[in-house]
Amino acid sequence: MLIYAIVFISTACLLYTIGVWSEKIQKKLKVWHVCVFWGGFLFDTLGTSIMGTLAGGMFQFNFHGITGIAAIILMLFHAIWATIVVVRDDEKMKREFSKFSIFVWFIWLIPMVSGMIYGVGM
């Protein structure tokens, strides 16, 4: 099961990074970015669920657990907000959305990196 968790979380990282940075470079939120954000959220949630099962519980009250929960909540909020922005088709909101995307991506990296460090230390 560990290999699946690693593949899912790595896929989430790839999708989220592509979505966030391509949106930043293109300077406008597009429908395909929203799809990639939802895909990143889905793969991260699947990978995190498997990791939680392997660890004996979904939430560990430590740095990695707290930042991980915060990151998943932010990713969900980010994907929902992106969906709303695209549905409303507001050009100004689409252009300004990337500021929030970079913030969420950076926060998401914290548990990603701490998980790798913690996993190596085990």
Report how many domains make up the chain.
1
How high is the pLDDT of residue 32?
96
Collapsed DSSP state (helix, strand, coil) of residue 76: helix
Neighbours of 36 (CB within 10 A): 22
Confidence of residue 58 (pLDDT cuts 50, 70, 90): low
The confidence score (pLDDT) of residue 22 equals 94
Q: With 60 as the cut, is the pLDDT of residue 122 above it?
A: no
One DSSP character per residue, 80-113 reads: HHHHHHHHHT-HHHHHHHHHHHHHHHHHHHHHHH
Summarize the confidence of residues 64-93 as an average pLDDT: 89
Calculate mean pLDDT across residues 33-58.
87
pTM across the whole model = 0.85
Question: How far is the CA of 11 from the CAs of 26, 28, 32, 91, 119, in angstroms?
Answer: 22, 23, 16, 30, 18
Backbone dihedral region for residue 46 (phi beyond 0: left; psi -120 to 50: alpha; all else: beta): alpha
Boundaries of domain holding 76? 2-121
